[in-house]
Homo-oligomer: A and B are copies of this chain.
């Protein structure tokens, strides 16, 4: 299930990081978890556009890569909580730098999208 990506070589450090945080919702999830959102249902409430299944998959991968850890409480109704591991915490400065750059350029980015949307090849006029 997780073997798929091993063939890549990791000669470039970024490739390792991308492997870990590259999923569609992982950045959100890390952001939320680092802010104390712990339970799957809460996370889903924060990211309603994704299905619970997909979030679950990505959480599993983050867990598999040792970035987050899951505590399961054998109660009824069931409850589980996620938190950052030490490795995950060591990632946070990088995450924050990434988030800061993105936030600082999101306006620019939107403009670019609007300006160029549908006209990737301007008619020169």
Residues of chain A touching chain B, judged by Cβ–Cβ distance below 8 Å, are: 1-3, 6, 9-10, 12-22, 27-28, 30-31, 49, 64-66, 87, 90-91, 93-95, 97-106, 108-110, 112-113, 116-118, 120
Distance in Å from the Cβ of A23 to the closest Cβ of chain B?
9
* Contact among B19, B66, B100, B120 with A13 in the assembled complex (CB-CB below 8 Å): B100
14 contacts between A and B (CB under 8 A): A2-B117, A12-B28, A12-B99, A13-B98, A13-B104, A14-B27, A14-B28, A15-B28, A16-B103, A18-B22, A18-B27, A87-B108, A90-B105, A98-B98
Name the B residues within 8 Å of A87 (CB-CB): 105, 108
The answer for the CA separation of A62 and B1 in the assembled complex, in Å, is 30
Taking a contact as CB atoms under 8 Å apart, the answer to whether B105 and A16 are in contact is yes
Decide if B3 touches A27 in the complex (CB within 8 Å).
Answer: no
Q: Which 8 A-B pairs have the closest CB atoms?
A: A13-B102, A13-B103, A16-B102, A14-B27, A13-B99, A17-B102, A14-B99, A94-B101
| A66 to B105 CA separation, bound complex (whole angstroms) | 11
The answer for the CA separation of A2 and B10 in the assembled complex, in Å, is 28
Name the residue among A64, A100, A102, A108 with the largest chain B CB count within 10 angstroms: A102
Contacts of A49 in B (CB 8 A): 9
